[in-house]
Amino acid sequence: MALNKQKKSEILEKLRSIFKDSKGIALVNFHGLSVLNSTEVRRSLRTAGVGYIVAKKTLAKKVLGESKFEGNMPELPGELAVAYSKDDLSPAREVYSFQKKLENKISLLGGIFQGKFLDKDGITALASIPPRETLLAQFANLINSPLRLLAVAVNEVAKIKS
């Protein structure tokens, strides 16, 4: 469907504000996504505090070209949507979870992290990072592990001596 000039300018302004105000941005291909799955994705993203907008590639490329992001813009094949949030990792993480769940009907094309363009591999690596709470639990386990092993060793020595 062709867009009139006024609608295009509204979309351009919305994209400019998204790229300017958001910390984390994921560029998404949603080729083959059914309406039911699309509704599920949007609802889940909304509850996670992630915005989601479908945009024409030409308009998105124009706004991305105007922006001051470092690096090279990733390739944008297929249909394009933009997932964005005030959190750095939420958009990529949420879309990545749906990518696994929906068998690649939705996929990450790239993204923007801390003012730099990331390609598909870079944004996927970021999306794979566990949440903060999980990382803290893993760190606590790492710190606790030598103490626990020392206690087990001392207990075994005590068993042998008695």
Asked if pLDDT for residue 100 goes beyond 90, the answer is no
Q: pLDDT tens digits, residue range 4-29?
A: 888 888 988 999 999 888 888 999 99
* pTM score: 0.78
Q: Are residues 90 and 149 in the same domain?
A: no
Amino acid at the residue 114: Q
* 125 and 145 both lie in a single domain: no
Domain co-membership, 78 together with 152: no
CA gap 3, 17 in Å, rounded: 20
Number of domains in the chain: 2
| 26 and 90 assigned to the same domain | yes
Task: Return the CATH number at 86.
Answer: 3.30.70.1730
Please report the pLDDT score of residue 28 as a whole number.
92
Residues 86, 46 share a domain = yes
Integer angstrom CA distances of residue 94 from 30, 35, 39, 108: 14, 18, 14, 10
Q: How many CB atoms lie within 10 A of CB 74?
A: 20
How far is it between the farthest Cα atoms of the chain?
Answer: 88
Q: Is the pLDDT confidence value at 162 over 70?
A: no
Regarding whether 104 and 82 lie in a shared domain, the answer is yes
pLDDT band, very low/low/confident/very high, at 91 (cuts 50, 70, 90): very high
> Is the same domain home to 94 and 42?
yes
Do 62 and 100 lie in one domain? The reply is yes
121: containing domain: 5-129
Give me the torsion for CA of 34, 40, 42, 43, rounded to 10°. Answer: 160
Position 1 pLDDT exceeds 70: no
